[in-house]
Amino acid sequence: MPETTAVAEDRDESQITGKSIRLEGVTKRYPGQSTPAVDGVTLEIPAGQVVMLVGPSGCGKTTTLKMINRLIEPTEGRIVLGDEDVTAIDGDQLRRRIGYVIQAGGLFPHMTVAQNIAIVPKMLGWDAQRIADRTTELLDLVSLDPDTYRDRYPKELSGGQQQRVGVARALAADPPVLLMDEPFGAVDPITRQRLQDELIRIQQELRKTIVIVTHDFDEAVKLGDWIVVFREGAQIVQYDTPERILAEPADEFVESFIGSGAGIKQLALQRVRDVDLKEAITARPGDDAAEVLAKVEKAGHGHVVVLDERDRPLSWPSRRALSRMATIPAEADERTPVIGSGATLNDALDEMLVSNAGAALVTGRRGAFAGVITIEEVMDAIRAVRASASDDLADAPVGTNAGSDDGTGDEVAQDG
Amino acid sequence: MLWPSDARVAHGDIAETRPNETDRYATDGVSTRMWEFVGDRFDEIAFASVQHLSLVAQSLVIATVLGVGIAALVYRNGTASSLANGVTAIGLTIPSFALIGLMVAPLGFGVAPAVVVVVFYAMLPVLRNAVVGLAGVDRALVESARGIGMSRFRTFWQVELPIAWPVILSGVRISGQMVMGVAAVAAYVLGPGLGGFIFQGLSRMGGAGATESIVTAVVGVILLALVLDLALVALGRLTTPKGIRA
Amino acid sequence: MAEALAEPTAADSALRPWRPLLVQVAALLAAGAALVIWLVTADLTAVERETLNPDSLLQLLGQHLWLTAVSTVIVLAIAVPLGVLLTRGPMRRAAGPVLAVANFGQAAPAVGLIVLIAAAPFLPNGFWAAIIALVLYAALPVLGNTMIGIRGVDQRLVEAGRGMGMTARAVLFRIELPLAVPVMLAGVRTALVLLVGTAALASFINGGGLGLLITTGVNLYELRVLVTGAVMTALLALLIDWVGRVVEHVARPKGM
């Protein structure tokens, strides 16, 4: 498969990890407005990390995000991508190197999924075969079957699927940086949770630099390596890890923004993949039910996990259900509690409480079965989180409103 | 027909002799002659304007009654509604000059074909908007009206029509603008109004006062359209219930 | 059609709008045939025979179509770029006044406009006078719908395009204009219908076209000539409208 190698090589060239971003004293003033919309923001975004910009609506977080790819031109200040000052380069060229995702994906309704994804590669002059291969690869990456979805129009997709295509489109030319503006704002809570898990999984694979604007603090805690809390005029109130913002909010503003239940929110900091999963007996459709039942009884388990040909869970019948079957059925059971390995313990708990089993199936890459998580693991994790409230003391990157003169002193941490 | 080209030659000769001066002279001349024309014929113009406006206004009243009436009959029935919409679309596609010509066959010349054609065109936008407006009234409102014991007719008159009225009225405004021009064409079959000045000018093309006559009619119709539209806006203010005003 | 039939669901939804279109064209053809039969079987006077012979009818029809076609091309060439321009950057501020003036001008009676241009000094006569008047008269719907169509494109899509590094020109040609096509085409169809109807007035100023039958019919009180002209003009307008609908249906971007 020579094509695959070509794509892999290309990825090596442009580095799998993202590039760092530095805003130095970036200000945006609109004519006729007395106070600047964004006032002298100096912000360091470490390479390969997810940084969440949160704050009340109208606080300037979206303006800040759009100044990174210069969709909004800053009035003052510098933008540095990696080692390169991009403040004055051609804006269109800059944006082709930065992925951009907006609410509901922003897919062009008159283009198919494949055409949407191909836009940036085409502008970069890729040949048709390379674009086609890349499209297939990306659809796979965002868990959409390429053959089914390639030629569909956006209106033939659900909201969540559109958002996935939006992410695939932003990743098309393998940009080091991904900017997302309220990406999951327009989908229902269940889909939002799935998409968040998916993003976490993709980020594990790609290690891009991702900047996400959200007004949902829970989303920020779940997705962010770092969180920047803004107040009006893009004043940075706190820039720190989710753990420490939850444990030590800088002031009352941050506290009120976190809202109640900071303790339970810390559960959202723990991922399912950080917990030891239990193994399970698995079976395939068409297997002899009696044989499977014997295996399950021998292992002392209560259920068997039925997997399809790509190891994705189909159903999770109990011993009692097994005893009534002749062969294992191929139908998928929609009630099967399934959770991605990137999901938080909070989500896992939710899913378990819904299912009767008090447990959930965990899936990893491409939806393949990875193990079972039970309520006991979650309880253990809660105890552990309580014990170690905030002992990891990573140095926070710079984030101030000091203005451009301060921008050169780069490696100064905000405070210990 | 030689007169139009004759007229052009005459103008062309003057223009070629001394372009700049003639231009200024021509401008002065045109505006002077224009005012003279209006001054001399003021009574005639005023009379034609009133006739034009009254033809349009009366036709609009008839058209509104007819349009709303037909809409009231069809808006609850899908097939009838789409039939009405089809008639509207076809009617608006037929050129007014063609229809005026057709009407001469049964109705002869004069006021009769003018009124019929103007009413016909005026009715179409009203009908279309009335169907849309009435169909757009929240069914829950109608049900609650019926629920408190209002009769079918009372529901229509006191609930549905007032709510649909702004949409219907915007149809009436479209009609007003449109039939101002239709009424001008109707003068060709000797209908009343300002259109007469256009055809007078046409028949004397190149002669004295021809252009002035046409300009009078065109400007007059535009002004009348403006006046009528303002009047309809004012009518809308007066007749739209406060609670649903935009 | 073949493409639409490939997928059963797509064909199903595509078939429904075709049915009324087929009914319409069948009705038009039937009306046209009825007119021809009436003309062939009628007992015509000498004048009528002279005016209504197939050659001269076809000539007038050709003139009428030519008037319509030339003015349509000019309208498109002027109004579409102007409409696009009035949605760009600083020009946007001029959009309101331009539309207001255009709307105001639309109230001018078409017949007055045509006759006035022919009467005005330094302006052409006959065919080109008619063309100027037709263009002035029919530019507004195309101009307006171009602007409305482009303005109606979801601004987030424009931003998404810009955010991906598309140039302003690429966003215009690959996103804004394709998405504005349905609204723009509706404007073009409206303009076409206006043009066919207004072209009938060209005969007043020696511009030719089917209107000549109507004016001749009125002047000589030849009702058969009059009716023939009126019916042919009406049928032509309906036919052009039908063609416009077919084009709108075919040119609608897929996926919308």
pLDDT tens digits, one per residue of B100-153: 988 988 898 889 999 999 999 999 999 999 999 999 998 888 888 888 888 888
Residue B234 has pLDDT above 70, yes or no: yes
Say if residue A279 is in the same domain as residue A156. Answer: no
The CATH superfamily holding the domain C17-156+183-251 is MetI-like (1.10.3720.10)
Inspect the interface and report whether the beta carbons of B214 and C237 lie closer than 8 Å: no
| B93 in Cβ contact with C237 (< 8 Å) | yes
* C19–chain B Cβ distance below 8 A for any pair: no
Strand partners, A373: A360
Is chain A touching chain B, with at least 3 CB–CB pairs below 8 Å?
no
Asked whether residue A349 falls in the same domain as residue A247, the answer is no
Mean pLDDT of chain A: 83
A93 within domain boundaries: yes
* B152 in a structural domain: yes
CB atoms within 10 A of CB C93: 9
Q: Using the beta-carbon criterion (under 8 Å), do C163 and A69 form an inter-chain contact? A: yes
Cβ atoms A378, A345 nearer than 8 A: yes
Q: Where is mean pLDDT largest: A213-222, A316-325, B54-63, B234-243?
A: B54-63
Residue of C nearest to A153 (CA): C255
In sequence order, which ranges of chain C are alpha helices (DSSP H)? 2-6, 8-41, 46-51, 54-85, 92-106, 110-119, 126-151, 155-163, 168-171, 177-199, 211-220, 223-251
pLDDT at C9: 34
Give me the residue from A95, A106, A112 closest to C157, CB to CB.
A106
Contact A102 C175 (CB under 8 A): no
* Residue of C111, C198, C221 to mutate, testing the B interface (most B Cβ within 10 Å of its Cβ): C111
Judge whether C254 is closer than 8 Å to chain A, CB to CB.
yes
Contact predicate A219/A269, CB 8 Å = no
CA–CA gap between residue A259 and residue C225 (Å, rounded): 84
Given an 8 Å threshold on Cβ–Cβ distance, is C201 in contact with B218? no
CATH number at residue A373: 3.10.580.10
The predicted structure's pLDDT at residue A412: 38
Residue B121 in domain: yes
**Are residue A28 and residue A88 in the same domain, yes or no?**
yes
Mean pLDDT of A36-63: 91
Q: What local confidence, expressed as pLDDT, does residue A274 receive?
A: 79
Residue A203 lies in domain: 2-268+395-408
Search chain C and give the residue with CA nearest A103.
C156
Domain contains A414: no
HSE at residue B113, side-chain half, CA atoms within 13 A, is: 24
Name which of C162, C179, C253 is nearest A95 (Cβ-Cβ): C162
Does the ipTM exceed 0.90?
no
Q: Residue A62 maps to which CATH number?
A: 3.40.50.300
Please name the residues between 171 and 190 in chain C that touch chain A, using a CB distance below 8 Å: 175, 178-179
C 75-114 residues inside an 8 A Cβ radius of A: none
Q: Percent of chain A, pLDDT > 70?
A: 88
Residues A240 and A223 both lie in one domain? yes
Domain contains B134: yes
Question: Among A107-121, A154-168, B89-103, C94-108, where is mean pLDDT lowest?
Answer: C94-108
Task: Compute the distance between CA of residue A227 and CA of residue A249 in angstroms, rounded to an integer.
Answer: 12
How far is A81 from A44, CA to CA, in rounded Å?
10
Q: What secondary structure does DSSP assign to A271-286, as a single string?
A: BGGGSPPBP--EE-TT
C159 touches chain A (CB under 8 A): yes
**Residue A150 pLDDT more than 60?**
yes
Q: Are residues A145 and A291 in the same domain?
A: no
Please tell me the predicted confidence (pLDDT) of residue C210: 93
Between residues C12 and A222, the one the model is more confident about: A222
Alpha-carbon distance B79 to B89, whole Å? 15
Q: What is the span of the domain harbouring residue B192?
A: 42-244
Is A361 strand, coil or helix?
Answer: strand
Mean pLDDT, rounded, for A131-140: 94
Residue ranges of the domains in chain C? Answer: 17-156+183-251
Q: Is residue B237 part of a domain?
A: yes
Do C114 and C129 touch, CB atoms closer than 8 A? yes
**Beta-strand (E) ranges in B65-189?**
none
Interface of A with C (CB under 8 A): 69, 71, 92-98, 100, 102-104, 106-112, 119-120, 123, 153-156, 169-170, 179
Look-up of token digits 């089914």: A148
Q: Which residues of C touch A170 (CB under 8 A)?
A: 164
Per-residue confidence band for B30, with pLDDT thresholds at 50, 70 and 90: low
Out of C157, C159, C165, the one facing A93 most closely (by C-beta) is C165
- How many domains in chain A? 2
Q: How far apart are alpha carbons A163 and C202 in whole angstroms?
A: 56
Q: What is the pLDDT along chain C (256 residues), one digit of tens a residue?
A: 222 222 333 333 444 567 888 888 899 999 999 998 988 887 777 777 778 888 889 999 999 999 999 999 999 999 999 999 999 888 888 888 888 887 777 778 888 888 888 887 777 778 888 999 999 889 988 998 999 999 999 999 999 999 999 999 999 999 999 999 999 999 999 999 999 999 999 998 888 899 999 988 888 888 888 889 999 999 999 999 999 989 988 888 887 7
Helix, strand or coil, per DSSP, at residue C88: coil
- Distance, in angstroms, between B24 CA and closest chain C CA? 14
Give yes or no: residues A216 and A342 share one domain: no
Interface probe with B: pick from C115, C122, C231, most Cβ of B within 10 Å: C115
Which residues of A29-176 form beta strands (DSSP E)? Answer: 38-45, 50-54, 76-81, 84-85, 98-102
The answer to whether residues A399 and A290 belong to one domain is no
The CATH number of residue B118's host domain is 1.10.3720.10
Domain count within chain B: 1
A95·C165 Cβ contact <8 A: yes
- Kindly state whether residues A327 and A248 are assigned to the same domain: no
Span A281-307, pLDDT tens digits: 888 888 888 888 888 888 888 888 898
Q: Which of A63, A163, A192 is nearest to A171 (CA)?
A: A163
pLDDT of residue A130: 95
Q: What is the pLDDT of residue A394?
A: 55
**Does C163 sit within 8 Å of A95, measured CB to CB?**
yes
pLDDT of residue A392: 52
**Residue B23, domain member (yes or no):** no
CA A90, A92, A97, A99 dihedral sign is: positive
pLDDT value for A15: 47
A74, A191: one domain: yes
**Residue A118: phi, psi to the nearest 5?**
-80, -5
Task: Please state, in angstroms and rounded to a whole number, the distance separating the CA atoms of residues A103 and A115.
Answer: 19
Specify whether A247 is located in the same domain as A111.
yes
pLDDT class for B28, splitting at 50, 70, 90? low
CA of A110: which chain C residue's CA is closest?
A: C255
A86 with A15, same domain: the answer is: yes
Per the CB < 8 Å rule, is A96 touching C157? no
In sequence order, what are the residues at sequence separation of 6 or more whose Cβ sits closer than 8 angstroms to the Cβ of residue C238? B90, B93, B94, C24, C28
Whether the CB-CB separation of C230 and B99 falls below 8 Å is answered with yes
Same domain, A246 and A282: no
